[in-house]
């Protein structure tokens, strides 16, 4: 609950005065209301210990003021949580929101330069819990920097991260609100597509080697929410390498890809045998929108559903 500068928060005080309450009682009531508002704005700062996705413990007391985010998803989250001004470092791939570009670029989020990160004097580093980052996380901890390693590969991982990071920065309520807002949008899209025909899709991620998405990725979850079936949902990996011959044998109704991928598929004779290509069923997705499991997951589901079911999604 935030203080209302228009004075609506003291409505009960004015109402009490209109009922001719004793002056002292009215003042006491108003003061108590303001104290309650202040209490609502203040997070419980008792130290709390969490276990991250590397199995390491992290204890946070006072909310950190200088944060390096080495994961585009957590960078998005920091801005959504109203804490973007605390960021002193980001990865080279963090473009959303536009103000993220003003944060110093630390390079790739994988195998980061630890010395560059330490030079920003962070009191918290958010890093993707990939095996490539285990050494960096250990070095940051050894240098005395609190480090939270999170593997955000599924939609549930995003919700957990939103609430956890909200708690770490001292605003649990906003963390929960961000998570709940995304969930409402995803649920709305799921309801709208639940009774629609579910076309079978192939998601073209990369061309050489040919990479797609499978059950281990949040993108597979988005496909299902948007009202389609992924022809590689039977594979457990997030992004397996496949052959074009296998794609042709699975015969998808549609191919989802980015703008560059669409051009390659249209101009590559090897793809000309695909039924989806013959029928012009190549759907071009906004890769900057669907390419990370973050605060825009709901927006990504809406965009995919509109591609797959034009005119049926609000």
Q: What count of Cα atoms within 13 Å lies in the side-chain half-sphere of residue 296?
A: 18
For the chain, give every residue range classified as CATH 3.40.50.1980: 48-170, 195-308
Report yes or no: 87 and 75 within 8 Å, Cβ to Cβ. Answer: yes
Report yes or no: 229 and 200 within 8 Å, Cβ to Cβ. Answer: yes
**195-308 has CATH 3.40.50.1980 classification:** yes
Q: What count of Cα atoms within 13 Å lies in the side-chain half-sphere of residue 177?
A: 8
Strand partners, 67: 87, 124
Rounded distance between C-alpha atoms, residue 222 and residue 33, angstroms:
44
Q: What are the average pLDDT values for consecutive 10-residue runs of the chain, which has 314 residues?
A: 32 34 40 38 66 92 95 96 97 94 95 97 97 97 96 96 94 97 98 97 96 97 98 96 98 97 96 97 95 95 97 88
Q: What token pair was written down for 121?
A: 């004097």
Give the end-to-end CA distance of the chain in Å, rounded to a whole number.
31
Instruction: Evaluate the omega torsion of the peptide bond into residue 97 and state whether it is cis, within 30 degrees of 0.
Output: yes
> Which residues are CB-contacts of 32 (< 8 A; sequence separation ≥ 6)?
none
Nearest to 204 by CA among 310, 282, 274: 282
Rounded distance between C-alpha atoms, residue 236 and residue 215, angstroms:
5
Report yes or no: 204 and 265 within 8 Å, Cβ to Cβ. Answer: yes
Name the helix (H) or strand (E) containing 67.
strand 67-70
- What superfamily in CATH does domain 48-170 come from? Nitrogenase molybdenum iron protein domain (3.40.50.1980)
Report yes or no: 226 and 204 within 8 Å, Cβ to Cβ. Answer: no
Rounded distance between C-alpha atoms, residue 280 and residue 257, angstroms:
13
Q: What token pair was written down for 295?
A: 């605060």
Q: What is the pLDDT of residue 44?
A: 55
């Amino acid at each position: 609950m935030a203080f209302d500068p228009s004075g609506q928060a003291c409505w009960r005080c004015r109402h009490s005065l209109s009922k001719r309450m004793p002056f002292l009682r009215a003042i006491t009531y108003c003061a108590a209301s303001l104290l309650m508002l202040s209490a609502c704005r203040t997070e419980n700062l008792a130290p709390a210990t969490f276990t991250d996705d590397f199995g390491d413990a992290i204890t946070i007391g006072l909310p950190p003021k200088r944060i390096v985010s080495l994961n585009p998803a957590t960078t998005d989250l920091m801005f959504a949580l109203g804490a973007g001004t605390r960021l002193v470092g980001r990865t080279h791939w963090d473009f959303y929101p536009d103000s993220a570009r003003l944060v110093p670029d630390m390079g790739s989020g994988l195998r980061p330069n630890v010395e560059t990160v330490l030079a920003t004097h962070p009191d918290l580093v958010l890093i993707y819990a990939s095996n490539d980052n285990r050494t960096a996380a250990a070095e940051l901890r050894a240098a005395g920097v609190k480090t939270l390693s999170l593997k955000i590969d599924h939609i549930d991982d995003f919700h957990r991260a939103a609430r956890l990071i909200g708690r770490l920065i001292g605003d649990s309520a906003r963390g929960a609100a961000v998570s709940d807002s995304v969930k409402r949008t995803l649920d709305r899209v799921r309801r709208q597509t639940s009774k629609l025909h579910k076309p079978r899709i192939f998601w073209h991620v990369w061309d050489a080697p040919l990479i797609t998405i499978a059950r281990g990725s949040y993108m597979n979850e988005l496909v299902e929410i948007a009202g389609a079936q992924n022809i590689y949902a039977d594979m457990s990996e997030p992004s397996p390498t496949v052959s074009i011959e296998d794609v042709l044998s699975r015969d998808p109704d549609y191919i989802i890809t980015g703008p560059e991928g669409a051009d390659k598929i249209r101009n590559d004779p090897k793809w000309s045998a695909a039924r989806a290509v013959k029928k012009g069923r190549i759907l071009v997705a906004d890769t900057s929108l669907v390419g990370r499991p973050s605060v825009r997951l709901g927006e990504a589901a809406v965009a995919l559903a509109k591609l797959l079911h034009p005119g049926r999604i609000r």
